[in-house]
Amino acid sequence: MSSGRLLPALLAGLVLLTSPALAEEYVIVIDAMKFAAPPDGLKENDVIVWRNEDIFRHTATDRGGSFDMDLEPGAEARLTLAAAGTFEVYCRYHPGMTLDLVVEP
């Protein structure tokens, strides 16, 4: 590698090392009156796309009140996980529908 190319390569490496981890995006499908299993390894700032493929309206509601996604049949909505923690999610219309989201810092 010539010295003319070394510096840009070093700078690119530096940017990679100092960038925060890229947020991941995960889809959680709601269908047949159930939430699909939550993904493993969720981190703060990751995004959940809630996708309602059921014929009924559902919500993805945090018992602690930090989010409440209301989804018509066929709708989807994005949720950025702004904080770490364990979130007990349920559907306001069908309280038997539950899901625990574990978000690591």
Tokens 């530096």, residue? 14
Which lies closer to Cu ion via its Cβ, residue 52 or residue 81? Answer: 52
Cβ neighbors of 45 (< 8 A, separation 6 or more) are 20, 23, 80, 81, 82
94 touches Cu ion (CB under 5 A): yes
Which lies closer to Cu ion via its Cβ, residue 47 or residue 94? Answer: 94
Q: Which 3 state secondary structure label does DSSP give 72?
A: coil
Residues 28-87 that bind Cu ion (CB under 5 A): 58
89 touches Cu ion (CB under 5 A): no
Count interface residues toward Cu ion (CB under 5 A): 4
